[in-house]
Amino acid sequence: METVDIHHLKAGEVNLGTSIMAVQFDGGVVIGADSRTTSGSYIVNRVTDKLTCVHDRIYCCRSGSAADTQAIADLAHYYLQIVTQSTERPPTVYNAARIFEKFCYENKDALSAGIIVAGWDKEQGPSVYNIPLGGGLFRQPWAIGGSGSTYVYGYCDATYQEGWGRDQTIEFVKNTLALAMSRDGSSGGVIRMAVIQESGVERLFVPGDQLPRFWEGREVIGSLSAAPTLAQGQVPIEVEE
Amino acid sequence: MANIYNKPGFDFSNVIRNSFLEAKGIPLPKATSTGTTIVGCLYKDGVVLGADTRATSGPIVADKNCEKIHYIAENIRCCGAGTAADTEFTTALISSNIALHALQTGRIPRVVTAMTMLKQMLFRYQGHIGAALVLGGVDETGPNLFTVAPHGSTDKLPYVTMGSGSLAAMAIFETEWQAGLERDAAVDLVSKAIQAGIFNDLGSGSNVDVCIITKDRTEMLRNYLTPNEKVEKEKRYKFSRGTTDWKRDREIVRSLVVHEETRPIAAGDDTMDTS
């Protein structure tokens, strides 16, 4: 079957390589992203903010084409303001997610955008919605996205526990993103996070030199730390002191 | 020839000319690209923008001293890289719309307004308008600096570079930029970055243009540096009179002529000679 590769970026288009994630906890959500934007192999922006505010307590994490996701986020921000004015109450996260889903699904041929919508509202409390490339809408307790996410599915599946508090969730997000950033070439820079609760939004920042570190590899063959061994039968030369 | 001043509708005579030329084997001319190194950086009192001045058409330098820092508003300027016509017309259009917007709102235009107008137009054209821009200015929110890429994505940063020489210029910025630079230090840094592009990138060259924007005034330093002026030739290559003896050879040259025909050009008959 011949398939047209519609999800590939066009030549010269700026790419949000990316590792993004959002995790729900009791009382709020923690969202996080790396900060690298690439065009081919050149890093156009090494301190990007991929966590975009679309309403007071609703954020989206952007991955895929920078132009597409910025345009979609701007439109969603606009429509949510209209909705707020006409309903005279803050929109629900589901409402916001549906607006994103509508754009992503109806324009799936022309767009290359993977978005995670997360936030807090009065009706549902905290929620996380994943909207991958095709424009489907999936509510999940935790969601990961972007090119770097493929490397950390195992880590997330093994580590995630329900019932975590705010600090444990922040640790989970930080560690996952650090692992993704260390393996994915299109992810890197700094970790930006945001904690969204009823009381407000708190922005967190982890500089590139303070990322959590894991196993960083060690040379085994030709290791300098190993003492040189004599070949069989060789007699060491006597040295006069 | 048809009277173009009276005919209604579009004039497609160039289409006929182009298809004729193409049939003769002459390819369409390449769009002039600005090759380019353009930069911008924030400093203590505002924004400094810089650009080189070379415009290329394929491998040929089409313009040795073109102006790449375009006017958007009194307090906003935009450097353009990519297809020269696209940057020229896009910035002119947004400049016009910003002027109208300022009259309607009664306020000094903001840099984000220009940025939003640019990104929404470029996104609509899905990257077919090849304009990569560095937009900078000072408004009531303070100094602002943005990049706008051809597909419509934007970045807000304290120092930016675009164009084919952007990597060379970014190397200078990454090494030497600091927050809160003084005016002279900032201008020196920007010149250094542009010169890195001029001397290390084939698509950039000639002179350095600098523009300094503060809350009180905008200063355009056209050809701030000219490190590529044509040097005086070391020798005189003129031949002295009498080097070629032509009087004697005139008869020889005349005797070589095989056929000579004089055809007067009739007044008003300017159809193309296709014989």
The tens-digit pLDDT sequence of chain A (241 residues) is 555 454 566 766 777 679 999 999 999 999 999 999 998 888 999 999 999 999 999 999 999 999 999 999 999 999 999 999 999 999 999 999 999 999 999 999 999 999 999 999 999 999 999 999 999 999 999 999 999 999 999 999 999 999 999 999 999 999 999 999 999 989 999 999 999 999 999 999 999 999 999 988 888 877 665 556 666 666 666 666 5
Name beta bridge partners: A138: A130
Q: How far is B156 from chain A (nearest CA, A)?
A: 8
B155–A37 CB contact, under 8 Å: yes
B192 touches chain A (CB under 8 A): no
**Are A33 and A22 in contact, with CB atoms under 8 Å apart?**
no
Query: Tokens in use for A226?
Result: 């190993």
Taking alpha carbons only, the member of A15, A32, A58, A8 closest to residue A145 is A32
Q: In this model, does residue B12 exceed pLDDT 90?
A: no
Higher pLDDT, A238 or B162: B162
CA angle, A231 as apex, A229 and A233 as ends, to 5°?
Answer: 130
Residue of A134, A198, A172, A188 whose CA lies nearest to A22: A172
Using an 8 Å CB-CB cutoff, list chain B residues near A192: none
Cβ-nearest to B167 among A10, A13, A42: A42
Structure tokens at B54: 């070379």
Which residue among A10, A14, A110 sits closest to B153, beta carbon to beta carbon? A14
User: Which string of DSSP letters, residue by residue, matches A155-186?
Assistant: HHHHH--TT--HHHHHHHHHHHHHHHHHH-TT
Longest dimension (CA), chain A: 96
* Structure token digits, residue B110: 């903001």
Between the CA of residue B140 and those of A210, B75, B106, B218, what are the distances in Å?
36, 10, 14, 15
B1 has a pLDDT exceeding 60: no
φ/ψ (deg, to 5) at B131? -120, 120
Q: Which of B177, B241, B169 is nearest to B198 (CA)?
A: B169
Secondary structure (3-state) at B170: helix
How does pLDDT run across B181-192, given as a tens digit for each residue?
999 999 999 999
Contact (CB, 8 A) for A31 and A51: yes
Predicted confidence band of residue B32 (pLDDT cuts 50, 70, 90): low
Write down the pLDDT at residue B157.
97
> Looking at the complex, does the CB of residue B153 fall below 8 Å from at least one CB of chain A?
yes
Which phi and psi (to 5°) does residue B225 adopt? -130, 140
d(CA A130, CA A110): 19
pLDDT of B87 > 70? The answer is yes
Q: How far apart are CA B135 and CA B121, in angstroms?
A: 15
* 3-state secondary structure at position A209: helix
Say if CB B66 and CB B84 are below 8 A apart.
Answer: yes
Alpha-carbon span B275 to B208, nearest angstrom: 49
Tell me which residue in B123, B147, B157 faces A67 most closely, judged by beta carbons.
B123
Residue-averaged pLDDT of chain B:
91
Within 10 Å of residue B86's Cβ, how many Cβ atoms?
A: 22
> B140: which residues sit within 8 A by CB, 6+ positions away?
B108, B110
Q: A206-211: list long-range contacts, CB under 8 Å, 24+ apart.
A: A206/A174, A211/A178, A211/A181, A211/A182
Q: Residue A81 carries which DSSP code?
A: H
Contact A67 B167 (CB under 8 A): no
Interchain contact, B123 vs A42, CB within 8 Å: no
List the single best residue of B42, B122, B124, B153 to mutate versus A (max A Cβ within 10 A): B153
Q: Which residue has the tokens 């063959």?
A: A221
ipTM of predicted assembly, 2 dp = 0.82
Contact B84, B33 (CB under 8 A): yes
What residues contact residue A236 under an 8 Å CB cut-off, 6+ apart? A230
Cβ(A31)–Cβ(A66) below 8 Å: no
Chain A CB contacts of B116 below 8 Å: 74
pLDDT at position A221 is 77
Q: Where do runs of H (alpha helix) occur along A62-121?
A: 66-87, 93-106
Dihedral, CA atoms, A165, A171, A173, A176, nearest 10 degrees?
-140
Mutation target for A interface from B155, B157, B161: give the one with most A CBs within 10 A. Answer: B155
Q: Which of A3, A18, A150, A176 is flagged as catalytic? A: A18
CB-based contact, B171 to chain A, within 8 Å: no
